[in-house]
């Protein structure tokens, strides 16, 4: 039995998988078992923020694994305390942090926090959470319901929890708010929905309105956070101070982690929320190293250089193939190219793979790029060269 057969026999087939067998990686380059190399413009869907085979991260994880991997949240966890402080320092206003293991779990925690706020704060409990169409907030029963895409709300998984609804645009949120609305949750740049960045003025006006009404603003930065936007949080680019921010993907460079970050530090009490694995020694030590690496990378100016360079290459590719591409989207190293249609997108992704470059799909027709933040100019050059070759075969 080969590995593909083994996978198909024993792993539940919930993914449409490509059966390439990657053996090792170096920064933004992956190598398979047949000796082929691939430029990785996906970073494991925005997770491998400091690149593959990162020496500093590997050493930190290894050293931590030799000492303690896990003790439980019943005892002090030094790297957890340090990571929470580091996040607080990077956020720029005072926050507390709860650690979980994934993006969905972080959003789930954010929703619990919002509902408790809604009970504590108001005489008549508020509990409804509004989200947006084309959003993506996770795959648990609650976060899938919070996800504003009907295709995710399969009848097979019903019934879903109450108290979630979504609107088409930010402008429609105002009318949808009622006496029971406790929070609005959104991504500043919709990732899975098609790499759509919202306008700053629109977000700022909403934040101001919600603050006046004492309704919480939850920003899902599971994908846009941890320097992917060019700043630690995309929230800083929009110059807002949300009540709750969630992080996950890039935070520990591939070790599972999620974080609920909030300025409402007095809502959760002991026993209100928890996680067996959340914030353990291994994950938070990895998170600390990742933030140290990326913080100095940003300070040195190298992150800004990378995203400017990537932007130039992306725009050049998009205008070179008007029969395939319509526009360039996104910000930082969270980018997209809108394709003329879904079929073109599928063809580009397939040809790109054959040409040794990994790219992603978002929404119906967006070619998505989430490279490691540490990607080198040489890797960017090589990736776009391969992508251009792939596009030429489609014209
Ligand atoms: C990936 C993603 C999630 C879900 O994260 P998981 O770790 O897969 O649970 C939630 N929100 C956004 C914006 C995401 O990009």
Is the distance from the beta carbon of residue 137 to the nearest atom of ligand 1 less than 6 Å? Answer: yes
* Nearest CA-CA partner of 104 in 140, 136, 133: 140
Total domains in the chain come to 2
pLDDT, residue 46, reads 98
Does residue 102's CB lie within 6 angstroms of at least one atom of ligand 1?
yes
59 domain residue, yes or no:
no
Ligand 1 atom with the smallest distance to the CA of 220 is 13
Clarify whether residues 162 and 226 are in a common domain: yes
Edge to edge, the sheet with strand 244-247 lists 96-100, 258-262, 244-247, 216-220, 181-186, 128-132, 164-167
- Residue 393 CA, ligand 1 centroid: distance in Å: 34
- The answer on 147 and 246 residing in a single domain is yes
Q: Ligand 1 centre from 220 Cα, in Å?
A: 8
What is the whole-number distance in angstroms between the Cα of residue 50 and the centre of ligand 1?
19
139 and 183 in a single domain? The answer is: yes
Q: Give the residue among 116, 382, 113, 69 at the shortest CA–CA distance from 255.
A: 69
Last residue of a domain, one of 247, 279, 299: 299
How confident is the model over 308-323, as pLDDT tens digits? 999 999 999 999 999 9
Q: What is the pLDDT of residue 243?
A: 98
Shared domain check, 37 and 73: no
Of all residues in the chain, what percent carry a pLDDT higher than 70?
100
CB of 163 closer than 6 A to ligand 1?
no
Residue where a domain terminates, one of 299, 318, 352: 299
- CATH no. for residue 359? 3.90.1150.10
Q: Specify whether 40 is located in the same domain as 75.
A: no
Q: Are residues 151 and 26 in the same domain?
A: no
The single residue listed with the structure tokens 């799909």 is 361
pLDDT tier at 126 (50, 70, 90 boundaries)?
very high
Asked if the structure places residue 58 within a domain, the reply is no
Let me know if residue 63 belongs to a domain.
no
* Residue 103 alpha carbon to ligand 1 centre in Å: 4
* pLDDT digit string, tens, across residues 165-195: 999 999 999 999 999 999 999 999 999 999 9
- The whole-number pLDDT of residue 216 equals 98
Q: Average pLDDT of 338-353?
A: 98
Domain-located, residue 367: yes
Note the pLDDT of residue 167. Answer: 98
Same domain? For 272 and 146 the reply is yes
Is the CB of residue 221 below 6 angstroms from any atom belonging to ligand 1? no
Pick from 299, 323, 343: which residue ends a domain?
A: 299
329 has which bridge partners?
A: 336
Q: Which domain holds residue 307?
A: 3-53+301-392
Question: Residue 303: what pLDDT?
Answer: 98
Ligand 1 geometric centre to CA of 124 (Å): 32
Question: What percent of the chain clears pLDDT 90, i.e. is strictly above it?
Answer: 100
SS3 per-residue string spanning the chain: CCHHHHHHHHCCCCCCCCCCCEEEEEECEEEECCCCEEEECCHHHHCCCCCECCHHHHHHHHHHHHHCCCCCCCCCCHHHHHHHHHHHHHHCCCCEEEEECCHHHHHHHHHHHHHHHHHHHCCCCCCEEEEEECCCCCCCHHHHHHCECHHHCCHHHCCCCCCEEEECCHHHHHHHCCCCEEEEEECCEECCCCCEECCHHHHHHHHHHHHHHCCEEEEECCCCCCCCCCCCCHHHHCCCCCCEEEECHHHHECECCEEEEECCCCCCCCCCCCCCCCCCHHHHHHHHHHHHHHHHHHHCCHHHHHHHHHHHHHHHHHHHCCCCEEEEEEECCEEEEEECCHHHHHHHHHHHHHCCEECEEECCCEEEECCCCCCCHHHHHHHHHHHHHHHHCCC
Q: Which residues contact 300 (CB under 8 A, 6 or more apart)?
A: none
Does a structural domain hold residue 233?
Answer: yes
323 CA distance to ligand 1 centroid (A)?
32
**pLDDT tens digits along 35-83:** 999 999 999 999 999 999 999 999 999 999 999 999 999 999 999 999 9
Query: Which of 171, 236, 239, 180 shows the shortest CA–CA distance to 209?
Result: 171
Give dist(CA 304, CA 310) in Å, integer.
10
CA separation for the pair 344, 367 (Å, rounded): 10
Q: What is the CATH number of the domain that holds 286?
A: 3.40.640.10
In a domain, 62, yes or no: no
177 in the same domain as 291: yes
Residue bearing tokens 């846009």: 224
Cα 240 from Cα 234, distance rounded (Å): 9
- Retrieve residue 261's tokens: 């970050």
Same domain, 8 and 120: no
Q: In terms of domains, do 120 and 252 share one? A: yes
Does the CB atom of residue 220 touch ligand 1 within 6 A? Answer: yes
Return the structure tokens found at 200: 């700053």
Residue among 109, 149, 188, 191 whose CB has most ligand 1 atoms within 8 A, to mutate: 191
Q: How far apart are CA 79 and CA 393, in angstroms?
A: 50
On whether both 253 and 339 belong to a single domain, the answer is no
Q: Which of 14, 99, 101, 104 to mutate to test the pocket of ligand 1 (most atoms within 8 A of CB)?
A: 104
What is the band of 372 on the pLDDT scale with cuts at 50, 70, 90? very high
Distance CA 16, CA 42 (A): 16
Q: Does the beta carbon of 108 lie inside 6 Å of ligand 1? A: no
Q: Are residues 151 and 105 in the same domain?
A: yes
The overall average pLDDT reported for the chain is: 98
Return the ligand 1 atom nearest residue 45 CA.
1
The Cα–Cα gap between 76 and 281 comes to 10
Does residue 168 sit within a domain? yes
* Average pLDDT value for residue range 254-277: 98
């Amino acid at each position: 039995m080969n590995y593909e057969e083994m996978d198909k026999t024993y792993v539940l087939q919930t993914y449409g998988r490509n059966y390439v067998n990657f053996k090792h990686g170096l920064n933004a380059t992956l190598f398979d078992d047949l000796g082929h190399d691939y430029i990785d413009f996906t970073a494991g869907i925005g997770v491998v923020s400091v690149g593959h085979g990162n020496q500093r991260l590997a050493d930190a994880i290894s050293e931590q694994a030799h000492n303690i991997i896990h003790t439980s949240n019943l005892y002090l966890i030094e790297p957890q305390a340090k990571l929470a402080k580091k996040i607080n320092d990077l956020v720029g206003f005072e926050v507390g942090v709860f650690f979980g293991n994934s993006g969905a779990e972080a959003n789930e925690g954010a929703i619990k926090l919002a509902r408790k706020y809604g009970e504590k704060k108001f005489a008549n409990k508020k509990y409804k959470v509004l989200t947006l169409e084309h959003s993506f907030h996770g795959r648990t029963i609650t976060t899938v319901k919070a996800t504003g895409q009907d295709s995710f709300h399969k009848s097979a998984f019903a019934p879903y929890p109450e108290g979630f609804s979504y609107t088409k645009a930010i402008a429609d949120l105002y009318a949808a708010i009622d006496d029971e609305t406790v929070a609005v949750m959104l991504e500043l740049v919709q990732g899975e929905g098609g790499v759509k960045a919202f306008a700053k003025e629109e977000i700022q006006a909403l934040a101001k309105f919600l603050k006046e009404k004492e309704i919480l603003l939850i920003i899902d930065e599971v994908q846009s956070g941890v320097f992917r936007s060019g700043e630690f949080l995309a929230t800083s680019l929009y110059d807002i101070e949300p009540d709750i921010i969630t992080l996950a993907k890039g935070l520990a460079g591939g070790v599972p982690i999620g974080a609920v970050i909030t300025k409402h530090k007095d809502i959760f009490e002991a026993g209100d929320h928890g996680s067996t694995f959340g914030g353990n020694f291994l994950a938070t030590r990895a998170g600390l190293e990742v933030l140290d690496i990326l913080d100095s990378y940003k300070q040195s100016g190298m992150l800004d250089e990378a995203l400017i360079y990537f932007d130039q290459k992306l725009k050049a590719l998009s205008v070179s193939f008007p029969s395939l591409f319509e526009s360039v989207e996104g910000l930082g190293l969270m980018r997209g190219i809108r394709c003329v249609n879904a079929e073109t997108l599928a063809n580009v992704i397939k040809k790109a793979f054959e040409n040794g470059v990994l790219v992603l799909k978002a929404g119906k027709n967006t070619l998505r790029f989430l490279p490691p933040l540490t990607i080198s100019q040489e890797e960017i050059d090589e990736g776009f060269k391969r992508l251009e070759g792939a596009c030429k075969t489609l014209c």
